[in-house]
Structure 1
């Protein structure tokens, strides 16, 4: 099925021959009627596009399986000299029959829901950033220095109201602030939903034991991964996030490694890089790794390298259903308690809550000392590795 916005061109392949070509309207009723004409022995091939999930969900009960083709890798269609809907549908059918169809994973309903929520949050976040940038542009255009505190808090709002601005720009600033409050309210609503999902998902809670990984990072990564068992190695997961370098090699020439591929889910990759910047400030082996790469390659490269390290850790944690080995239990409990409050849990005054240990100085310092010793052990290991003499070249 070559899918478009309002219809799909269908090529039916039997015993290596196209026996029928037809067009199906991509509306709920006509698509179901077409699916009922098929049997549980039939296999359907569609390309990954905006409405693929809906087509796959509706046709799944009526056929043996629905295969989703990776459009970037179906080069037979992308580079065809004669390209029509009928030819595209026929090529998809023949590639699948020959076993050469590059497929993508069909996400389950839970993963699809989480992906839609993350996509909505990223869109809202872009709106927030754009509005704040316009406010800053107004201040810059009127030679107003930067505010030292939180510009969009209560004190910052009062400071904005007192600024000497022209009437038209003051009115514009007021409209932008009203819009920012509206969009921020939407952000708070979806963050509340994601927080509750994190509290109900043991996988997300295990990921939050890693320094720098918040509930948003964990939710974004899990929405991108879905079922971790489809990645046989940690290297495959890193490649899926686009955090592995490009490689070019031909003939007798040595392999050349370039920048990261940036393939796969860009939102998850961005979240992992943000988590890497956050992990830089937390004591532990991750901070030591970040600093080691930073000295050699710079901070930006260190953030990307640490993001790849996080992807490897995530694969091991999800595959083995364990926790980060250098986790700080009190700190993690405090993170989960704050998350529960964001999800709407009541505040409990007068008695100790689950995150109380973090606010006990002795416990907090004991955990800090543990991870700092692990950080120093990593640094000593690196020094010993550098001092080791290299093996002589053969010949």
Structure 2
């Protein structure tokens, strides 16, 4: 089926021949009527579109299997000069019949719901960031220096804004943008409350939050993107799924050239991992030592991407083995969980010392910090002088000398 917004073109591949089945209107009742014409032995192939998951949900009870194909890879395999909806549907059928169709994993309903909530939060945050950037551009256009406070739209930032000298029309524009900035604030609280409840009920998300730099937003974004981790046989496949593996060019007897990361797969999850890598680079532990080692040779931006790739590997091991991060700081993790509970709407327990109270004790925090700093120093000692390409071999006559 070649799916569009209003209709889909359907063809059947049977006994080596294509048969046109006509157009199907993209409404639930029309899809049900079309599905009833199919048999339990049929396999339906569609491209990944915005409504492909809903189409698969309607057709699945009536057929043997519904396959969702990667549209980008299908175009690379079957690029044609002559293109119609019937030809596109026929290409999907023939590629699947020959075993060359690049399939897309179909997540279950809870994972799809989590993905939708993560996307909604991302849209609200991007909308508010856009308005904040507009305000900053207005100030920049009138030679107003940068805001000395961390949050331009926070209480202190707004008090600073009132004191700045700008034309009256620009001041009115800033006030209008601030009102637009406040409007989705309540929606953001509702979405984050639902996400916090999902994180509290998900052991995988809480396990990922033991990693430094990974909070509720990053943990749920990765959980929603990965879904069932058992579909990745090894960590490198998860790295490739997130687009953090380097591109490779090699032909014939020549050497292989490795370039920038492929940036394929789920871009939002990849961005969340890079943000977590920057946060992990500021927290004590082996991840910071890894970041600093790469930064010396390649710069901080390459080091951040390399740390994000390292995080993806760590995440695969944690989810596969059902373990927490070995260098986690228990009081910090307890504080993260307590913040989740408050964000989820749990009542405050004033006067009672819970598991997160230890994070408020300075001596306890410093003791945990010293412990992970020792792990950071141990990693730095372990990799000093390490050569990624192995020992160098220098030929000296008939013998070969190994130099490290």
TM-score higher than 0.5 here?
yes
Work out the CA distance in 2 between the residues paired with 1:41 and 1:388.
Answer: 52
Residue in structure 2 matched with residue 178 of structure 1 by the alignment: 179
> Is residue 2:83 matched to residue 1:103?
no
1:288-319 deviation digits (Å, cap 9, x = unpaired): 00000011110000000000000000100111
1:269-289 deviation digits (Å, cap 9, x = unpaired): 110000000001110000000
SS at match of 2:73: coil
Are the aligned partners of 2:20 and 2:86 in contact in 1 as well (CA < 8 Å)? no
1:199-251 deviation digits (Å, cap 9, x = unpaired): 11000000000010111001111111111111111000001111110000100
Residue in structure 1 matched with residue 60 of structure 2 by the alignment: 60
Are the aligned partners of 1:11 and 1:21 in contact in 2 as well (CA < 8 Å)? yes
Work out the CA distance in 2 between the residues paired with 1:76 and 1:365.
Answer: 55
1:173-206 deviation digits (Å, cap 9, x = unpaired): 1101101111233222212211111111000000
Are the aligned partners of 1:21 and 1:86 in contact in 2 as well (CA < 8 Å)? no
Work out the CA distance in 1 between the residues paired with 2:243 and 2:394.
Answer: 33
Residue in structure 1 matched with residue 287 of structure 2 by the alignment: 286
Are the aligned partners of 1:12 and 1:18 in contact in 2 as well (CA < 8 Å)? yes
Residue in structure 1 matched with residue 379 of structure 2 by the alignment: 378
SS at match of 1:189: helix
Work out the CA distance in 1 between the residues paired with 2:172 and 2:76.
Answer: 56
After TM superposition, give the deviation of residue 384 of structure 1 in Å.
5.3
Work out the CA distance in 2 between the residues paired with 1:388 and 1:247.
Answer: 17
TM-score by length of 2: 0.94
Work out the CA distance in 2 between the residues paired with 1:335 and 1:283.
Answer: 17
> Is residue 2:47 matched to residue 1:50?
no
SS at match of 1:9: strand
* Residues 37 and 282 of structure 1, relative CA distance in 2, 3 Å threshold: same
Are the aligned partners of 1:192 and 1:344 in contact in 2 as well (CA < 8 Å)? yes
Work out the CA distance in 2 between the residues paired with 1:277 and 1:103.
Answer: 33
Are the aligned partners of 2:243 and 2:263 in contact in 1 as well (CA < 8 Å)? yes
After TM superposition, give the deviation of residue 147 of structure 1 in Å.
2.5
> Is residue 2:244 matched to residue 1:243?
yes
Residue in structure 1 matched with residue 225 of structure 2 by the alignment: 224
Work out the CA distance in 2 between the residues paired with 1:3 and 1:254.
Answer: 42
* Residues 76 and 182 of structure 1, relative CA distance in 2, 3 Å threshold: closer
Work out the CA distance in 2 between the residues paired with 1:386 and 1:22.
Answer: 61
SS at match of 1:72: helix
Residue in structure 2 matched with residue 193 of structure 1 by the alignment: 194
After TM superposition, give the deviation of residue 159 of structure 1 in Å.
2.5
Are the aligned partners of 1:77 and 1:83 in contact in 2 as well (CA < 8 Å)? no
Are the aligned partners of 1:276 and 1:303 in contact in 2 as well (CA < 8 Å)? yes
**Structure 1 unpaired stretches of 5+:** none
Moved over 6 A (4+): none
What are the equivalent positions in structure 2 for 1:139-150 lying under 5 Å apart?
A: 139-149=139-149, 150=151
Residue in structure 2 matched with residue 274 of structure 1 by the alignment: 275
Work out the CA distance in 2 between the residues paired with 1:390 and 1:384.
Answer: 11
Give the length in aligned residue pairs.
395
* Residues 352 and 36 of structure 1, relative CA distance in 2, 3 Å threshold: same
What are the equivalent positions in structure 2 for 1:1-395 lying under 5 Å apart?
A: 1-75=1-75, 78-149=78-149, 150-383=151-384, 385=386, 390-392=391-393
Work out the CA distance in 1 between the residues paired with 2:90 and 2:137.
Answer: 54
Are the aligned partners of 2:78 and 2:91 in contact in 1 as well (CA < 8 Å)? no
Work out the CA distance in 2 between the residues paired with 1:135 and 1:234.
Answer: 43
Are the aligned partners of 1:13 and 1:20 in contact in 2 as well (CA < 8 Å)? no
**Structure 2 unpaired stretches of 5+:** none
